[in-house]
Amino acid sequence: MKARRTDPLRGLAAYLDQRRASVTQRWVEAVHAEPRLQQALTLTADQLIDHVPEIYAEVIAALKIDGRAEMPLALERNVRLHGNFRWTQGYRLDELFQEMDLLRQIMQDAVADYFAQEADHPRTFEAQAQRTVQDLFSAMVQSSIVQVLEDQELRIGASLDARDRAQAAERNSKERLRIAADAAGLGIFEWDLAERRALWENARMYEITGQRPEDGPLSGEEFTQVIVHPDDASGMARDFDSGKVSGGQVHTVFRIFRRGDSALRVLQMSGRFQFGDDGVARCFIGALADITDRKKADDALQEADRQKDVFVATLAHELRNPLAPIRAGAHAMKHYQAALPAQIQWVQQVIERQSRHLSSLLDDLLDVSRIRTGRIKLKKNVCALREVITAAMETNRPLADARRQQLTASLPAEPVFVNGDSTRLTQVVSNLLDNAIKYTADGGEVRLSGNVMDDHVFISVEDTGIGIEATMLPHVFDLLVQADPLMQDSQSGLGLGLWVARSVIELHGGEISATSAGPGKGSRFTVRLPVVPAPLVQAAESEAVAHPGSRRLRILIIDDHRDGADSLALVLRMEEHDVRTAQDGPSGLQAATAWSPDVILLDIGLPGMSGYDVAHELRALPETRDSVLIALSGFGGDADISRSTEAGFTKHLVKPVDPDQLIQTLRDIGRVR
């Protein structure tokens, strides 16, 4: 009975199967004609009918089963696939419904055509078939709705998850920032520039500023007007505004009067502006740190460093005073050297050599302080390299001779010129020679050579001494480093000379390096300096009789250090000058007025009336207005020399005075007076 009832539906299924192509064609035409399905016009024919054949086939299969109450799983799957594809093509839900509804109408028209041709079938079968088609397509619509809702839920869920994760990450990040800020003692804040309000992220902001939490945070304007020190407000505002550029960073240090106790504190603010799409700064996010204790510690260190420099300079000055008569005395003994016993000659040489060494150590000690504080100034001019090296060789040859060392120099045949401070360059070469001599055994060799290559001159000092270990080579120019501080027979010094040498060469735009094959195999130090063209006008060589011979001078020495004054007077009397001494400013002025000396050697560090004051008085007296004033001082910095020049001194000599240098200076003065 059931079979007979379903036969018409089976016949309908066969009919629809035969009409598959024509039904599909009618549907495509209907879709293209529907104005609400403009999105379908963007699809190709294959894309348009993608899953329609499968859907059509599943509807036919469902018609074969009488009383179908639910949509087959296969049909539901095909509808979902069809929908998924439509979503990727930009379809909306109503467009999908419209497309499916057109397919329903065309299939129901085909059902009606079938029963019109089979008039002997009861009308109930047609109604059943039409209801089945209607139910299936209603189920399709419902399935599409379910799919859309599920997709939306997934998207919303994913969005919520992402948002939640982002918010959680932001909360965690902020929490970590707060923890880190609290651990570092930083206050975190935000200033909204447009609304002129502030958000203080942690309690440390209140602790730093002294603001009560119940009073709320201070705005940017309130902050600068209420607690910032008036003297620092403009500087802080300037630093703040300078950061109002894209990528700009604000870093400023200022003082505040902390609220509550009015304590003066030093704060450091760092942060960055955030900008809107229009490029205007919207807010400032920053961190605040109380660096009062650190600032006090820094100030204490700077003060300690300043006191150290003062101490070193004072120590050097005090050491120069007793060293001056020792050096002068050794020079005086040298005058009678031929008549002295051999042992006394040896004593004289030791005293002269060691006093020169002590003088060099004092120079290095003061140079370290000047270089580190940036107070060293170079007096550059075009100078001949040969003159620099000759002066250094003359300075160090006595020490080399005393150790029976062979000291040689090999220089380019053509004159070589460098732009530099000849005194400082001589000091560098002398330091290198001094090191080579000290660290080379008696009877060894020290060789100096100069070569020009690629617009640079290379000055090398090579010895046959103790050498340098490979591990020590990278550190030989470091401060307070010695090649072998345990050597008993070397004057290893303080480890200052090479550091000073490197610093001076670098100030000249050059380089200095050290090489060694290892312990016992000697060492080689090389200085590289840029060469410059020869000066356009060179001083003519001195003629045999360029100036008349130097005459005997009246010389007054004013120095409170009696031994220094008397020993220097002894040296000058040996040069057949008339010499008198005075121990203070007033007695010096009295002697100068009565005697009208040609030259006055004047100690700057006189008690009571300083050398500068005495010089001022001497320049005002008619008896000494034309006297040559030579300053004697334990201080030889650029500022000291400039001040003595301004006070009217012709020359500034640093204690202990080199007797040979002073004698030559007096000879030059005697030739022109």
The β-bridge partners of 459 are 450, 527
CB-based contacts of 530, cutoff 8 Å, min separation 6: 418, 419, 455, 456, 457, 509, 510
pLDDT at 592: 93
* Residue 196 domain flag: yes
Cβ-based neighbour number of residue 388 at 10 Å: 26
Interatomic CA distance for residues 296 and 232, integer angstroms: 18
> Is 512 found in the same domain as 401?
yes
**SS3 at position 561:** coil
pLDDT exceeds cutoff 70 at 371: no
pLDDT at 375: 62
DSSP at 542: P
> Is 403 found in the same domain as 307?
no
pLDDT band with cut points at 50, 70 and 90 for residue 673? low
pLDDT exceeds cutoff 60 at 1: no
* 637 backbone φψ class: left, alpha, beta (φ>0; ψ -120 to 50): beta
pLDDT at 487: 45
pLDDT at 327: 81
Interatomic CA distance for residues 185 and 156, integer angstroms: 41
Alpha helices in 229-290 (DSSP H): 230-242
Please answer whether residues 525 and 461 qualify as being in contact, where contact means their C-beta atoms are separated by less than 8 angstroms. Answer: yes
Residue where a domain terminates, one of 290, 325, 341: 290
pLDDT at 363: 72
Antiparallel, parallel or unpaired: β 406-410 and 381-384: unpaired
> Is 576 found in the same domain as 527?
no
For residues 651 and 43, which has the higher predicted lDDT (pLDDT)? 651
**For residue 254, what are the CA distances in angstroms to 155, 196, 295?**
52, 21, 11
pLDDT exceeds cutoff 50 at 485: no
Interatomic CA distance for residues 431 and 426, integer angstroms: 8
Structure tokens at 324: 């001056």
Structure tokens at 22: 């024509």
Interatomic CA distance for residues 251 and 272, integer angstroms: 9
* Residue 247 domain flag: yes
pLDDT at 410: 92
What is the CA angle 517-519-524, rounded to 5? 45
* Residue 276 domain flag: yes
Mean pLDDT within 289-301: 86
* Pick from 526, 522, 498: nearest CA to 441: 522
Structure tokens at 170: 């932001």
pLDDT band with cut points at 50, 70 and 90 for residue 540? very low
Give residue 487's identity as a one-letter amino acid code: M
* Residue 505 domain flag: yes
> Is 586 found in the same domain as 627?
yes
Lowest mean pLDDT among 45-49, 51-55, 476-480, 570-574: 476-480
Interatomic CA distance for residues 273 and 247, integer angstroms: 8
CB-based contacts of 408, cutoff 8 Å, min separation 6: 445, 446, 447, 448
CATH number, domain containing residue 277: 3.30.450.20
pLDDT at 580: 95
pLDDT exceeds cutoff 70 at 563: yes
pLDDT at 3: 40
Mean pLDDT within 651-672: 86
Residue 43: φ, ψ to 5°: -95, 150
For residues 546 and 48, which has the higher predicted lDDT (pLDDT)? 48
The distance from CA 454 to its chain's CA centroid, rounded to whole angstroms, is 32
**For residue 80, what are the CA distances in angstroms to 85, 271, 437?**
9, 54, 97
pLDDT at 582: 94
* Residue 199 domain flag: yes
> Is 563 found in the same domain as 443?
no
pTM to 2 decimal places: 0.47
pLDDT at 600: 96
Give residue 478's identity as a one-letter amino acid code: D
Lowest mean pLDDT among 15-19, 384-388, 399-403, 624-628: 15-19
Give one DSSP letter per residue of 498-530, joined into a string: HHHHHHHHHHTT-EEEEE-SSTTS--EEEEEEE
pLDDT exceeds cutoff 60 at 260: yes
Structure tokens at 350: 């030791």
What is the CA angle 428-433-438, rounded to 5? 125
* Residue 547 domain flag: no
> Is 123 found in the same domain as 6?
yes
Structure tokens at 95: 């467009």
> Is 366 found in the same domain as 390?
no
> Is 272 found in the same domain as 201?
yes
Please tell me the total count of domains within the chain.
5
Interatomic CA distance for residues 187 and 267, integer angstroms: 11
Task: Say if residue 607 is exposed, middle or buried (CB neighbours under 10 Å; 0-12, 13-18, 19+).
Answer: exposed
Alpha helices in 373-478 (DSSP H): 385-402, 422-438
pLDDT exceeds cutoff 50 at 513: yes
* Residue 129 domain flag: yes
Interatomic CA distance for residues 477 and 95, integer angstroms: 84
Interatomic CA distance for residues 618 and 241, integer angstroms: 57
pLDDT at 88: 77
> Is 516 found in the same domain as 403?
yes
Interatomic CA distance for residues 323 and 328, integer angstroms: 9
Please answer whether residues 19 and 70 qualify as being in contact, where contact means their C-beta atoms are separated by less than 8 angstroms. Answer: no
Lowest mean pLDDT among 242-256, 418-432, 483-497: 483-497
CATH number, domain containing residue 347: 1.10.287
Reported as a single tens digit per residue, the pLDDT across 115-168 is: 888 767 777 777 878 878 877 777 777 777 677 667 766 766 666 666 666 555
Mean pLDDT within 627-656: 88
Cβ-based neighbour number of residue 48 at 10 Å: 19
Which residues form the domain of 230?
A: 185-290
pLDDT exceeds cutoff 90 at 629: yes
pLDDT exceeds cutoff 90 at 616: yes
Antiparallel, parallel or unpaired: β 186-192 and 197-200: antiparallel
Lowest mean pLDDT among 223-232, 457-466, 497-506, 585-594: 497-506
Please answer whether residues 189 and 198 qualify as being in contact, where contact means their C-beta atoms are separated by less than 8 angstroms. Answer: yes
Residue where a domain terminates, one of 103, 135, 155: 155
pLDDT at 621: 92
* Residue 171 domain flag: no
Interatomic CA distance for residues 592 and 558, integer angstroms: 10
Residue where a domain terminates, one of 314, 341, 372: 372
**SS3 at position 421:** coil
pLDDT band with cut points at 50, 70 and 90 for residue 521? very high
For residues 229 and 636, which has the higher predicted lDDT (pLDDT)? 229
Please answer whether residues 470 and 515 qualify as being in contact, where contact means their C-beta atoms are separated by less than 8 angstroms. Answer: no
For residues 452 and 658, which has the higher predicted lDDT (pLDDT)? 452
Interatomic CA distance for residues 294 and 310, integer angstroms: 24
**SS3 at position 106:** helix
> Is 405 found in the same domain as 484?
yes
> Is 217 found in the same domain as 146?
no
* Pick from 396, 289, 402, 280: nearest CA to 349: 402
> Is 190 found in the same domain as 140?
no
Q: Which residue has the tokens 């001094």?
A: 434
Average pLDDT of the chain is 81
CATH number, domain containing residue 409: 3.30.565.10
User: What dihedral do alpha carbons 135, 139, 141, 144 form, nearest 10°?
Assistant: -170
For residues 548 and 104, which has the higher predicted lDDT (pLDDT)? 104
Reported as a single tens digit per residue, the pLDDT across 201-239 is: 788 889 899 999 988 898 888 888 889 999 999 898 888
pLDDT at 539: 45
